[in-house]
Structure 1
Amino acid sequence: MVSVLLVHHSPSEATNRIAEAALAGLRMPGLGGIDVVVRSALEASAADVLAADAYVLGTTANFGYISGALKHFFDTTYDEVRDPTAGRPFSYWIHGGYDTTGAETAMKQISTGLGWSLAFDPLILTGEVGAEHLEKATELVATVAASALA
């Protein structure tokens, strides 16, 4: 059994829709053998990260940066999980109103520091969330899960 940890901060209707599409992707019937653990960014712990085989992260872009909640997640888990989880597959989504540049930079820097392996191009979007974005979120997480199974 492979465990995929979905950690997200989804305070808006738009980001909540992305999180729901992501969860649907992790529960696709064709994947099988996947244990899905969902945590809000303020509740996720180092133990959750250490127990998982792959990661999907989601955040809003707030004031040009990742959400404070996701930053808190990284701040409280980083040192403990960095070495034992290096090489594990992951991907993420970022949703912003206007600009996601700082949030994108932060996610690249943090995940590089962790040594995680990007399994699918991140979903980066601003403005309205459409059906094509939700489909990509589903594909993103299914690919991360399949990478963990391989």
Structure 2
Amino acid sequence: MQPLLIIANTPSANTLQLRQAVVTGAKRTELALIELSPFEATAEHVFNASAIILGTTANFGYMSGALKDFFERIYYPCLEHTQGLPVVLYVRAGTDGTGAVHSVERILAGLRWRLVQEPIVLQGEFKPEFLQTCEDLGEAIAEGVLLGVF
């Protein structure tokens, strides 16, 4: 079975904790994982993924520049070869993450990737509950892939 690809921008200690929580949750299953920054991830990683968990910060009402860079590099190579790829999104936002969510959703629609759940927006001051939410996300998506739900 192809691995679960976790691509998350982690410009701060808190966002790194969020990505690590996603990984911790996913590791509760037997599914292989690949964990990368958006700058490390390539189209080849996408081609070989069973599903993708994307994490970004909300910056100026948009996704992070790092995630945008990822999409710019993989968009055309993946366009005709990864349609229907299951994907989920979590956004770390200070005040409002809707712009970041919408910007990612537009690109996902163009790629014809399939959001398998509503995006999660972790908004406001950092809370310990955010970590549990991310652990649950990682576990649920990995388990869904193993069960063939996605």
Same fold (TM over 0.5): yes
- 1:113-137 Cα offsets, whole Å, 9 max, x none, are 1222222322202222323222221
| Mapped pair 1:69 → 2:66 | yes
Gaps (5+ residues) in structure 2? none
Contact kept, 8 Å, 2:101 with 2:119, in 1: the verdict is no
**1:48-69 CA-partner distances (Å, limit 9, x unpaired):** 1111110001011111110100
Identity %: 36
Q: 1:94 to 1:140 in 2, by over 3 A?
A: same
User: Equivalent residue for 1:92?
Assistant: 89
Correspondence for 1:20: 20
Match of 1:126 in 2: 123
Give the TM-score, by structure 1 length.
0.91
Following superposition, the deviation at residue 101 of structure 1 comes to 2.0
Does the CA contact (< 8 Å) of 2:4 and 2:52 recur in 1?
Answer: yes
Determine if the alignment matches structure 1 residue 55 to structure 2 residue 44.
no
Letter in 1 for 2:24: A
Q: Structure 1 CA distance, aligned partners of 2:39 and 2:108? A: 18
Report what 2:11 is aligned to: 11
Give, in whole Å, the separation in 2 of the partners of 1:140 and 1:96: 17
Amino acid at match of 2:99: G
Q: Distance in 2 between matches of 1:112 and 1:142?
A: 25
- Other-structure match for 1:103: 100
CA contact (8 A) 1:61 1:95 kept: yes
**Correspondence list, 1:36-51, <5 A:** 36-51=33-48
Whether the 8 Å CA contact 1:88–1:148 is kept in 2: the answer is no
- Equivalent position SS for 2:3: strand
User: CA RMSD for the aligned pairs?
Assistant: 1.3
